[in-house]
Amino acid sequence: MLAHTVQLRIFDTDMVGHCHHLASAQWFEEARNEIFEMFNPQMTKEDWNLLLVRIEIDYRAPIQFSEREVEIRTWISHLGKSSLHAAHGVYLKDGTCAALGGAAMVYFDLQNQRTVPIPESIREKLLPHLDPDCPYHMSAKK
């Protein structure tokens, strides 16, 4: 499991009074930086090699701006031949899980525009975070 803290921004909130549903989606993407780095250590756009193919998010509790910061926990919930699922949760200071979701990605050769198998060297970096018992699994193995 990867843990990452993000500070809330007023920009994250909406008129209903708490964080907007797309704030979680932005935090989840920031949390995936650690995964992106396993695939592309220099994080350059020229070598980008992951395509996002699906996202899902369940909202469970409102997130108040006064919370100040939230913890994003990230797991690998599925590791296929050329695809993987990241699972993410938003956790409040009192332990409440405010949102759970996932992102399906495929390893992609942008130059040749095709999906390719994830090499063993990257699988080794991902495997310690693979957790079949993590709290969220995507609805479909795309």
Q: Are 88 and 102 in contact (CB under 8 A)?
A: yes
- Decide if residue 142 touches a copy of itself (CB under 8 A): yes
Q: Which of 1, 3, 21, 127 binds a copy of itself (CB under 8 A)?
A: 21
Which CB sits closer to a copy of itself, 26 or 82?
A: 26
- Decide if residue 137 touches a copy of itself (CB under 8 A): no
- Decide if residue 125 touches a copy of itself (CB under 8 A): no
Cα distance between residue 132 and residue 120, in whole Å: 20
Q: Which of 1, 3, 43, 116 binds a copy of itself (CB under 8 A)?
A: 43
Q: How many CB atoms lie within 10 A of CB 15?
A: 6
Which CB sits closer to a copy of itself, 48 or 127?
A: 48
Quick one: which of 126, 90, 20, 104 has its CA closest to 56? 104
Q: Which of 1, 3, 48, 135 binds a copy of itself (CB under 8 A)?
A: 48
Q: Which of 1, 3, 9, 135 binds a copy of itself (CB under 8 A)?
A: 9
Output DSSP code: residue 15: T
| Total of residues contacting a copy of itself (CB under 8 A) | 41
User: For residue 102, which amino acid is it?
Assistant: G
Q: How many CB atoms lie within 10 A of CB 128?
A: 10
User: For residue 3, which amino acid is it?
Assistant: A
Q: Are 116 and 105 in contact (CB under 8 A)?
A: no
Summarize as ranges the residues that interact with a copy of itself (CB under 8 A): 7-11, 13-18, 20-22, 25-26, 29-30, 33, 36, 42-45, 48, 51-59, 64-66, 68, 139-140, 142
